[in-house]
Amino acid sequence: MQHLTKDAGSPRAFTHAAYRPWTNVFLAIACGALALLLVAGTGDVARASAPAPVISSQNALQEGDLRTECASRAEAKTPKGWIKNRFEMCVHRPTYLKLKDTRQRLRGELWFDVWILGFSYDGSRRVDYTSSIENIRTKAVSGENPANWKIEQSFTHTINTQGSDINPQIKQPSSTLQNGTVAEWNAKPFWQLTYTSPDTGKLEASNNQVVRGEINLGMKVTSPTALPWEDRTMAKSNIRFDYVGRAAGKYKGTVFTDARVELVMSLKDPEVDQSTRHILDAQQFPERTFPSWAGKTVPGGSGQPLHRMIDPAKLKDQRDESIKQCRNVWGDYSGSGLECDEYPFASTHEGSLKGDSRYSVRLIDSADNRKGGELIQKVYEENRLIDNDAFYVKIIP
């Protein structure tokens, strides 16, 4: 498939919050009604207060949609959460615990829901999280007072220096800890955190300013009469900041790196039916494709991803090698209206010059080939794929 560098010019295939300005608006659903709260970003829960916010229906819908979808996802109940796409993630962890004293006698029981909504941005080195504790219920033994129990949330972050460029930096919010009683959390369950990574120098090929890190939520529950309960990994989020430039869509941005990226193509799409058939044959019937050899397999399906390659010189070299292979099989096809389609794509590290011959070339209609190139470029830009980022190719009927 020919890789085109022009802008696809079409809207995103999914809806996310990457293009809207972040506001201190959080969505809560309680007793079947919609409640919108604005919470101060710093300070103790008991002291946090704010005037009634001015909100837009679009903000409410975007956060509400993510939360609604998140509630039905089993992955959301894990620390990693449900990664909707490269720009939206969520965690929803219903929690039950028993508080016991030093002699292991039960002092009480506690139920609550932990929510994390995360938004990263295409165009900004920034990621926002909305954290909340909701639906708190208590049950205490005789003589125990749940009003004295305290719930604490604490955010920390680490930087993956080996996966980052020189001098990686992540700036944390002014407050990363909230600690309050059950009554205080019930009164103000929401708070916001923003992490950023500063630009360090000019935009240039040798200074992509890639910073990889992990944001982690730990929680603790304490009582004057019981041993503390603690979970140091209630939620975790892997993020990446970059300043790669136009090749990734907007010049800089932030993504959730655990998102699975797929290029989905349909055999029923008349604009790319030949490209799609070629990819399907390469993935499922590689012995029917060229170059042909016994035991041949081709990556990119569900088992083994492809990895984007940005270097234009290497891309051209792979494109030239694929054309050479097409001519070896079909001869001179100039003037036929056909072009040499290659899979894996010339814009991947798994292309024809990798050296393992796990690729396929085929002559297809030139318009089909070019449209296929636009589709892959669209996936690159909409998902902010930089060099060596993984993605899959899925063929549907």
What are the pLDDT digits (tens) for 321-334? 999 999 999 999 99
Band the pLDDT of 51: cuts 50, 70, 90: very low
For residues 154-167, give the mean pLDDT.
Answer: 96
48/174: higher pLDDT: 174
> What is the pLDDT, as a whole number, of residue 47?
27
The DSSP call for residue 350 is T
> What is the pLDDT, as a whole number, of residue 40?
30
Band the pLDDT of 62: cuts 50, 70, 90: low
What percent of the chain lies above the pLDDT cut of 90? 81
Band the pLDDT of 156: cuts 50, 70, 90: very high
Q: Is 233 helix (H, G, I), strand (E, B) or coil?
A: strand
Distance, CA of 126 to CA of 36 (rounded, Å): 23
For residues 147-174, give the mean pLDDT.
Answer: 97
Band the pLDDT of 29: cuts 50, 70, 90: very low
> What is the pLDDT, as a whole number, of residue 19?
33
Distance, CA of 247 to CA of 303 (rounded, Å): 27
Band the pLDDT of 1: cuts 50, 70, 90: low
Band the pLDDT of 202: cuts 50, 70, 90: confident
The DSSP call for residue 173 is P
> What is the pLDDT, as a whole number, of residue 155?
98
Band the pLDDT of 302: cuts 50, 70, 90: confident
The DSSP call for residue 4 is P
H-assigned helices in 50-181: 57-71
> What is the pLDDT, as a whole number, of residue 250?
94
Band the pLDDT of 203: cuts 50, 70, 90: confident
| CA Rg value for the chain | 26
Rounded to 10 deg, the angle between the 366-382 and 273-284 helix axes is 70
- The amino acid that residue 334 corresponds to is S
pTM: 0.84
pLDDT tens digit sequence for 236-265: 999 999 999 999 999 999 999 999 999 999
> What is the pLDDT, as a whole number, of residue 303?
86
**Cα angle, residue 354 at apex, residues 351 and 357 outer, rounded to 5°:** 80
For residues 125-144, give the mean pLDDT.
Answer: 97
Q: Is 292 helix (H, G, I), strand (E, B) or coil?
A: coil
